[in-house]
Amino acid sequence: MTIEVLKPGALSTFQDLGRFGHQHHGIPVSGVMDERSHRLACMLVGNAPSQATLEVTLIGPTLKFEVPAVIAICGADLGATVNGRALPLGTPVAVAAGDLLSFGKRASGLRAYIAVAGGYALQQVMGSTSTYVRGGFGGAQGGPLQKGDRIALRDVPARTSSLDASGFVFPEEVQRPPGAPLRIVPGREREAFAPQAHRAMTAQTFRVSPRSDRMGYRLECEPLRLLQPLELQSEAVSFGAIQVPPDGFPIVLLADRQTTGGYPRIANVATVDLPSLAQLMAGETVRFEWISLDEAQQLSVAQGEIFRAMEAGHGVH
């Protein structure tokens, strides 16, 4: 029960919800960049959200199914096709033995998530199947897919989810429309920055630097300045923390972030807006708006309730 990798794509790695409980050993959490799309893809094929999806970046792979399967793709529209026929996003699709899943021209977004009913047969490393490329562990042999790889599948369940999310849209307060500012909460060292930096966070447009990856997005902008030089001891950092190095150009820490950081944090991207951030390409722009920590937590709770209702089979469409 395998899938043959004919072309690996630009960066195709297996990711789940992350590797928790090992940061004190210097092991990053890793996991999916866009948790919302990952969870939707898993639900579409009847998998638990803890199972891995294949996260593909910009240029997708070409995969040959050697057994029948049910798949779903969510996230970026990277021109997915099965045997040359367009494959809709957000819909379970049956594929037959011998079918080819491939990708063409990108229409929107950066990262797509491929789920297969029953799941991929991967070995857990420290409680997770997520790939950490820099460390060389997790996923498929610790790295991105390679030409000629064979992906083992678990047994396909007799019955999979009947969920169809192709027309589903999260409420606007949970998922911002394209181009809307992403919400941020004050960071631990926010008051160490000059008032001009506070205003600049919402007044200016930030461009995603080409020097960005799964570890962090570097943002190009007018530099953000401190009131005075500040030296900090390294502390634990979170997904979405916006650190500002001495050059004044912020870095948003992402899934493969280091476990600690010593740069002052002016803000943190709200959890519900991290999926939108993860879909930005180098050269694209983003704006921010301040909200309170209470508001960010309420939004996270609202999104969790939507997922729980969907998983229970209520309120899907």
pLDDT tens readout for residues 21-78: 999 889 999 999 999 999 999 999 999 999 999 999 999 999 999 999 999 999 999 9
Are 121 and 216 within one domain? no
pLDDT at 314: 38
Shortest CA distance to 303 belongs to which of 174, 176, 181, 183? 174
* Residue 155 scores a pLDDT above 60: yes
DSSP secondary structure letter of residue 231: -
Q: Is residue 25 part of a domain?
A: yes
Q: Is residue 204 part of a domain?
A: yes
Q: Is residue 165 part of a domain?
A: no
Total domains in the fold of the chain: 2
Instruction: Compute the 3-state secondary structure of the chain and give helix, strand, coil in percent, each to the nearest 5.
Output: 15, 30, 55
- Give the chain's mean pLDDT: 93
C-alpha triplet 174, 28, 297: angle, nearest 5°? 25
Measured distance CA(66)–CA(98) in Å, rounded: 5
Mean of pLDDT values over 166-192 = 89
Q: Which residues pair with 116 in a beta bridge?
A: 71
Plot region of 148 (φ>0 → left; ψ -120 to 50 → alpha; else → beta): left
Q: How confident is the model at residue 317 (pLDDT cuts 50, 70, 90)?
A: very low
Shortest CA distance to 70 belongs to which of 91, 48, 98? 91
Are 128 and 227 within one domain? no
Mean of pLDDT values over 166-195 = 90
Measured distance CA(271)–CA(175) in Å, rounded: 11
Measured distance CA(48)–CA(85) in Å, rounded: 28
**Structural domain harbouring 198:** 182-308
* Residue 286 scores a pLDDT above 70: yes
pTM of the model: 0.94
